[in-house]
Amino acid sequence: MMNSHAMPAAERKVRVDLGDRSYDILIGPGLIAAAGNEIAARLKGRKVAVITDENVGPRYLEPLMASLKQKEIEAVTLVLPAGEKTKSFEHLIPACEAILGARIERNDAVIALGGGVIGDLTGFAAGIVRRGSRFIQIPTSLLAQVDSSVGGKTGINSPHGKNLIGVFHQPDLVLADTDVLDTLSEREFRAGYAEVAKYGLIDKPDFFAWLEKNWQAVFSGGAARIEAIAVSCQAKADVVAADERENGRRALLNLGHTFGHALEAATQYDSARLVHGEGVSIGMVLAHQFSTRMNLASADDAVRVEAHLRAVGLPTRMGEIPGDLPPAEKLMDAIAQDKKVKGGKLTFILTRGIGQSFVADDVPASEVVNFLREKHPK
């Protein structure tokens, strides 16, 4: 299959190594059309329940169903509303009922066809129906391909905060079809890119430098895009294999997320104002600036991070979020509610420089509040 760079983009395979629960992430063009083959090769069952949303379904449900049919895999489908608000009990119930209604048995599977919201919700449903059903991720956004579809975290939101209700439930297969990314809005692609940059900032300074030079090629598609996704998936796979349930190292994947989640909560998850990747972008800049404030890292690194994220068109400051934000103290409440608090001390992912992040579990709340007051647009 040819792309705009006039060289065929090769498919890549990343293995998530979890003993008898290991699985493959396939990355490349045309994977939705090949889904039937890939699933039939790995599953004994011949039945699936496909859950998607109103944005993705009209585009990709038909080619997926055709591909399953070729392999005589029976499928029932459920189409849910699109958007962050779908990650709720209100939509979890019909998802569970659809899976039960499809009479999914041990060797059959539940398929999530969509972005992070559908992946998280469907994975949670698959994790609890019959105490755990087989699960396949077909992520259709860049964010889902490099982050949420890998590693088995599933869940829904609560009025108390994001992702507070859920289970760890690893997929049996992830199919990241890079062709579908061409239909994303530029805003969505940029939001996903924030998570790509994050892997460089965690512990891959060379990858971050590569992105600074090659981000335009990643945006335009082809080999550079597949490379960026493969490096991101491998980075996440390595962390998950070392610390599946986030007792230590896996927490590094939350770089920028503690601030980012607080900002998402402050905007009531209104995607017109802020989407997850944009919150992460601002959050990563804040994490580097806060690390500078705590005398851990050079101010030059924070400047460099902000410059790169700004160059790709991501927001990097709280003042860029449309509408009013609650005061610093209220943002602090959201941070304290985030699931990274132990014994009154805050756990943050801080950094000693580009690609040198670490888990700091003794950050004084007073320092964070003062910092937020300084950075607050008011």
Q: How would DSSP label each residue in 253-298? A: GGTTHHHHHHHHHHTTT-TTT--HHHHHHHHHHHHHHHHHHTTSS-
For residues 377 and 345, give the distance between their C-alpha atoms in angstroms, rounded to a whole number.
26
Query: Which of 134, 198, 225, 257 is the catalytic position?
Result: 257
Are 12-196 and 198-375 equal in CATH topology?
A: no
The pLDDT assigned to 7 comes to: 43
User: Which CATH superfamily includes the segment(s) 198-375?
Assistant: Dehydroquinate synthase-like - alpha domain (1.20.1090.10)
pTM metric for this prediction: 0.92
pLDDT of residue 343 exceeding 70, the answer is no
To the query of whether residue 15 is one of the catalytic residues in this protein, the response is no
What letter would DSSP give residue 56? T
List, edge to edge, every strand of the sheet that includes 357-363. 341-342, 345-351, 357-363
Task: Place 15 in a pLDDT band, splitting at 50, 70 and 90.
Answer: very high
Q: What is the pLDDT of residues 274-294, one digit of tens each?
A: 999 999 999 999 999 999 999
CA dihedral 257, 125, 141, 307 (to 10 degrees): 0
Q: Is residue 39 a contact partner of residue 136, using CB atoms and an 8 Å limit? A: yes
Q: Which of 225, 261, 293, 375 is catalytic?
A: 261
The first and second tokens of residue 233, run together, are 């998936």
Question: How many whole angstroms separate alpha carbon 138 and alpha carbon 14?
Answer: 15
Residue 342: predicted pLDDT: 64
CATH topology of domain 12-196: Rossmann fold (3.40.50)
Q: Is 91 a catalytic residue?
A: no
- Is residue 131 annotated as a catalytic residue, yes or no? yes
How confident is the model over 161-190, as a mean pLDDT?
Answer: 94
Q: What angle do CA 365, 277, 282 make, to 5 degrees?
A: 45
Q: Which of 72, 131, 186, 213 is catalytic?
A: 131
Question: Would you call 236 a catalytic residue per the annotation?
Answer: yes
Contacts of 169 (CB under 8 A, 6+ apart): 123, 124, 126, 127, 132, 135, 152, 154
- Single out the catalytic residue among 87, 134, 236, 375: 236
Q: Which of 217, 246, 353, 331 is nearest to 282 (CA)?
A: 331
pLDDT band, residue 338 (cuts 50/70/90): low
| Other beta carbons less than 10 A from residue 171's beta carbon | 30
360: left (phi over 0), alpha (psi -120 to 50) or beta: beta
The pLDDT tens digits of the residues spanning 123-151 come to 999 999 999 999 999 999 999 999 999 99
Would you place residue 339 in the very low, low, confident or very high pLDDT band (cuts 50, 70, 90)? low
Residues 191-242 have pLDDT tens digits of 999 999 999 999 999 999 999 999 999 999 889 999 999 999 999 999 999 9
Q: How far, in Å, CA of 361 to CA of 350, rounded?
A: 10
Structure-token pair, residue 302: 């924070």
Catalytic, out of 254, 288, 293, 308:
254
Give every CB contact of residue 245 below 8 A, 6+ residues apart in sequence.
Answer: 168
**Which of 162, 190, 225, 250 is flagged as catalytic?**
250
DSSP secondary structure letter of residue 181: G
Q: Which of 235, 162, 152, 164 is nearest to 195 (CA)?
A: 235
Mean pLDDT for 322-349 is 83
**Given a cut of 60, is residue 2 above it in pLDDT?**
no
Task: Give the Cβ contact number of residue 73 at 10 Å.
Answer: 21
Is residue 308 among the annotated active site residues? no
Residues 188, 227, 246, 306: which is the catalytic one?
246
Q: Point out the catalytic residue in the list 153, 162, 169, 198.
A: 153
3 catalytic, yes or no?
no
Domain locations in the chain as residue ranges: 12-196, 198-375
Nearest residue to 45 (alpha-carbon basis) of 160, 135, 121, 119: 135
**φ/ψ (deg, to 5) at 195:** -70, -30
- Range scoring the smallest mean pLDDT among 6-10, 252-256, 307-311: 6-10
- Pick the closest to residue 171 from 216, 138, 140 (CA basis): 138
Whether residue 276 lies in the annotated active site: yes
90 flagged as catalytic:
no
